[in-house]
Amino acid sequence: MQRRHLLLGSTATLASPLAAPRLARAQGGSQGSGAAGTLRFVPYADLALIDPIVTSAYVTRTHALMVFDTLYGLDENGAPRPQMVEGHRVEDDGKRWTLTLREGLRFHDGTPVLARDVVASLERWAKRDPFGDALMAATDELAAPDDRTIRFRLKRAFPLLPNALGKPTSYLPVIMPERLARTEPTRQVPELVGSGPFRFVAGERVPGARAVYARFEGYVPRPDGTPSFTAGPRLARFERVEWQTIPDAATAAGALRNGEVDWVEQPSIDLLPLLRRDRNIVVRPVETNGLIGVLRFNHLQPPFNRPEIRRVVLKAVRQADFMEAVAGADRSIWRDNVGVFTPGSPMASDAGMSVLSGKHDPAALKRELAAAGYNGERTVLLAGTDVPRINAVCEVAGEMLRQLGFNLDYVATDWGTVVQRNANRQPVDQGGWSLFATYWGGLDFSSPAGHQALRGNGLRAWNGWPTSPRIEALRDQWFTAPDLATQQRLAREMQLAVFEEVPYVPVGQFTQPTAYRRDLTGVLTGLPLLTNVARG
């Protein structure tokens, strides 16, 4: 599998300087005059939640990358580049950063983007995001001295500041008007107003079926650089983008072949040979760091509030079973033996991996589960059936849990419902849950900086809410580590702690190809990005 290692917070990224601007041909008007027509896109799931600070769902992340902009972007090599900012100045031995906004930036409601909007947006984001939380922990003051200036006064040097502010995955450090950014970060904003290339057309949204975006005439892209991942000019080449939710994989593939839609984000693996034979369709990976499947426990409620019980589930997992269910026997697109950090990344190691590769004896594990104190509590597994890769993992997990002796309530529902229900902290008889399955991108899991599932900060953690002072302390040390060797040692210790405390279980990694009509050009790698895409 080809990897570009877009490492959020890796030593390699830390060492990459911000490139000097390279002038490109000026874009006519706001975004040029070449935008035309409608792009029809089939996301992997329905857009159930529209606020990228409220949910970590990737479908919301993709939506947010159209509607919002960020202060920095990452290029395809993982280096941060100025996006909404002209640039920055670093003083006082790295403890004072002064950022200057580009001129002419406007929100979709016509108001100018001001520094106080940025401050409020970053404060809201940092309450949800682990990278943002680390940045704010190192910050004494975040202020807006004037309309175009943002100032960070730090307690200690934080060289990864541009990486944090350019983070392209959940949760996104998007900039919104101050009046919206003051919304409690666990509540959706009352309206969606960004400053990105596309406007969200709320009046045309049909939950479960459609979301619509219109080109924002007032958007001012960067005048320099070339498009690369989320860096460089971000252009809306279509006047309109329609997201069409099509839960049935065969129906989506048929619509693509017939030209009724232009792009299917995640076609079913078993339909890939058919799509590859169609000369009018391109099938290739876009998310080049792969997807890592996880089982996430609810640490607040029985039975998984007991680490002994979580460890039994960890021992029962055979990653190959999960990945074969997802992607078949073709090992070229999946791998097992996946630990806490993305395979091939600098933080990956073999520490404690024997727990995932030992002999699996279901009868012995069933006895171990009883000895761990499991008393037959109803165990609710939320299964997102309309996303094939998630549905496959849930089916394997369900059978595994039944063999272990869990009193399993297998709740088969759509992914949008899972995303909404897994925020419920109540007991299962009050609409709560016990575990669910999902995926994170290899980019997210490449280092502790963006690794949501690694956090052990209780009610502030990603849904599941584990508490682990040990993991949190190691993570804090990682951010202040003086060199790569120290970071790697701390990452090994974090992996050992995860296998002991089990905030979640990794179930393998696979590369999900995307499929689009051959007449589309400008499709970038890294994530499914709908900017810079044109027809012909």
Could you tell me if 526 and 338 are in contact, meaning their C-beta atoms sit under 8 angstroms apart? no
Instruction: Taking residues 364-384, report their average pLDDT.
Output: 96
> What number is the average pLDDT over the span 12-27?
34
Distance CA 524, CA 533 (A): 8
- Closest C-alpha to 235, from 36, 23, 487: 36
Alpha helices (runs of H) in 68-196, residue ranges in sequence order: 115-126, 130-137, 161-165, 178-181
What is the mean pLDDT of the segment spanning 234-249?
96
Average pLDDT over residues 71-87: 95
Give me the DSSP letters along 69-97. Answer: --SEEE-TTS-EEESSEEEEEEETTTTEE
Q: Residues 127-134: what's their mean pLDDT?
A: 94
pTM: 0.84
Distance of CA 535 to the CA centre of its chain: 27
Q: Name the amino acid, one letter, at 412.
A: A
CA distance 142 to 152: 5
- Give me the pLDDT at residue 34, please: 54
**From CA 42, how far away is CA 76, in angstroms rounded?**
24
Residues 488-513 have a mean pLDDT of 97
> What's 493's DSSP letter?
H
- Which pLDDT does position 97 carry in this prediction? 98
Residue with tokens 């996301």: 43
Stretch 87-101: mean pLDDT: 97
pLDDT of residue 5: 33
- Cα–Cα distances (Å) from 151 to 97, 103, 140, 234, in that order, read 6, 17, 11, 25
Contacts of 310 (CB under 8 A, 6+ apart): 297, 304, 501, 502, 505
Cis bond before residue 303 (omega within 30° of 0): yes
The pLDDT assigned to 9 comes to 40
Domains detected in the chain: 11-244+514-535 (3.40.190.10), 291-510 (3.10.105.10)
Q: Under a CB-based contact definition with an 8 Å cutoff, are residues 58 and 44 in contact?
A: yes
Label residue 515 by pLDDT band (50, 70, 90).
Answer: very high
CB 190 within 8 A of CB 56: no
Place of tokens 């070449």: 34
pLDDT at 330 exceeding the cut of 90 = no
Which distant-in-sequence residues (6+ apart) come within 8 Å of 473 by Cβ? none
Q: Which residues contact 11 (CB under 8 A, 6 or more apart)?
A: 346, 483, 484, 487
Task: Kindly write down the DSSP assignment for every residue of 217-248, as one continuous string.
Answer: TT----SBS--BTTBS-----SSEEEEE----
Question: Mind listing the pLDDT tens digit for each residue in 54-68?
Answer: 998 999 999 999 999
Tokens of 516: 């689009």
CA atoms within 13 A on the CB side of 121: 26
CA 459, CA 467: separation in Å to the nearest integer? 8
Beta strands in 425-503 (DSSP E): 435-441
Cβ-contact 518, 280 below 8 angstroms: yes
Among 215, 374, 397, which residue's Cα sits nearest to residue 316? 397
Q: Looking at residue 194, what is its pLDDT?
A: 98
Residue 21 has pLDDT above 60, yes or no: no
- Evaluate if residue 343 carries a pLDDT over 50: yes
pLDDT number for residue 359: 72
Helix (H) / strand (E) element for 58: namely: helix 58-67
Q: Are residues 84 and 113 in contact, defined by beta-carbon separation less than 8 angstroms?
A: yes
Tokens for 145, please give them: 């001295």
Higher pLDDT, 32 or 41: 41
Q: Give residue for tokens 């045309």.
A: 204
Residues in the chain, total: 536
